[in-house]
Amino acid sequence: MEHIVIIGNGIAGITCARHIRKNSDKRITVISAESDYFFSRTALMYIYMGHMKWEHLKPYEDWFWEKNRIELKKAWVEKIDFQQKRLYFSSEESLEYDKLVLATGSVYNKFGWEGQNLKGVQGLISKQDLDLLEENTQNCKKAVIIGGGLIGVELAEMLKTRNIEVSFLIREKAFWQNVLPMQDAKMISAHVRSHGVDLRHETQLDKIIGDDNGQVKAVKTGSGEEIECQLVGLCAGVRPNIDFLKDSDLESDKGILVDEFLQTNISDVYAIGDCVQLTKTIPDRNPIEPV
């Protein structure tokens, strides 16, 4: 029986698995080291704030996977031998496939800032990031968030529920100015500040300063100001999670390069979701006729 392996149990990978099962009886294996089961990533914040429990984030009951004959394997894929069609795991196990779907998602950006690898510096994308946040905020009094996106706002809200002082640094003149009209962006900035967040416009990070134990103790802004903190949230966007594929024959740029059918340059290998970069624009198959 043909074996289809999907790396990644996020929304892209699981949607792919479900549609393959609807249309075929092929063997399906989904691999992820992040969690045992697919979960709603956008709800991670509610676990931290105590509004939900971990089991509430699973859209499907645990029996769903066996009933639909979708095999789940919890493992880190370290290397892929595309010629032999074999995956190698960190546990030294391996697994063969006939067709492979890469749905590895994204990771938070680091831009080479001095101190970006200090203890207490992190993003918020994965379940592991959430676990790390619990650890990093045990004795945290002050935090600095870098980047004015939605994850930054979520993190600010999360930290405020723990009575942690938050300074929020964004490059724009108002929150989400690159998306919203200026009047609306200013309204959102005012709303964020009304909740006790020290939102600072037109402010960039220069470097992150650590103490003698390798723990963050402050950040320095582009203007030279130092802001004391025990946590730095890196929320300045995301990038495709493809570092483990860099030295392979798989063609990539910012993401894994695919055509309009989501095929890569390697036979029987596909890529979907946040890790993908299209090689050309997909034409609109149902263009709207002018009135």
Helix (H, G, I), strand (E, B) or coil at 144: strand
Residue 136 has pLDDT above 70, yes or no: yes
Question: What percentage of the chain carries pLDDT values higher than 70?
Answer: 97
For 65, the token pair is 């996977």
Q: For residue 77, how many other CB atoms are within 10 A of its CB?
A: 22
Residue 161 has pLDDT above 90, yes or no: yes
Q: How confident is the prediction for the chain on average, in pLDDT?
A: 94
Q: Classify strands 269-271 and 99-102 as parallel, antiparallel or unpaired.
A: parallel
Residue 286 has pLDDT above 90, yes or no: no
pLDDT at position 149: 86
pLDDT tens readout for residues 82-98: 999 999 999 989 999 99
Q: How confident is the model at residue 282 (pLDDT cuts 50, 70, 90)?
A: low
Quote the CA–CA distance of 200 and 176 in Å, as a whole number: 13
Residue 291 has pLDDT above 50, yes or no: no
For 235, the token pair is 């929320």
Mean pLDDT of 143-165: 95
Q: Which fold has domain 3-105+241-278?
A: FAD/NAD(P)-binding domain (3.50.50)
Domain boundaries, the chain: 3-105+241-278, 108-237
pLDDT at position 289: 57
**Are 254 and 83 spatial neighbours (Cβ–Cβ below 8 Å)?**
no
Residue 49 has pLDDT above 70, yes or no: yes
pLDDT at position 287: 60
pLDDT tens readout for residues 208-267: 999 999 999 999 999 999 999 999 999 999 999 999 998 899 999 999 999 999 999 999
Q: How confident is the model at residue 206 (pLDDT cuts 50, 70, 90)?
A: very high
Residue 144, class by beta-carbon neighbours within 10 Å (0-12 exposed, 13-18 middle, 19+ buried)? buried
Mean pLDDT of 42-46: 94
DSSP structure class, residue 83: T
Q: Which fold has domain 108-237?
A: FAD/NAD(P)-binding domain (3.50.50)
pLDDT at position 280: 76
**Are 255 and 142 spatial neighbours (Cβ–Cβ below 8 Å)?**
no
**Are 244 and 250 spatial neighbours (Cβ–Cβ below 8 Å)?**
no
DSSP structure class, residue 51: S
Quote the CA–CA distance of 47 and 247 in Å, as a whole number: 37
Residue 271 has pLDDT above 90, yes or no: yes
CA-to-CA separations, 96 to 34, 153, 191, 196, 267, in angstroms, rounded: 21, 42, 53, 53, 15
Strand order in 231-234's β-sheet? 121-122, 231-234, 142-146, 165-169, 198-200
pLDDT at position 141: 97
What's this model's pTM, rounded to 2 decimal places?
0.90
CB contact set of 50 (below 8 Å; sequence gap of 6+) = 161
Residue 168 has pLDDT above 70, yes or no: yes
Mean pLDDT of 73-83: 96
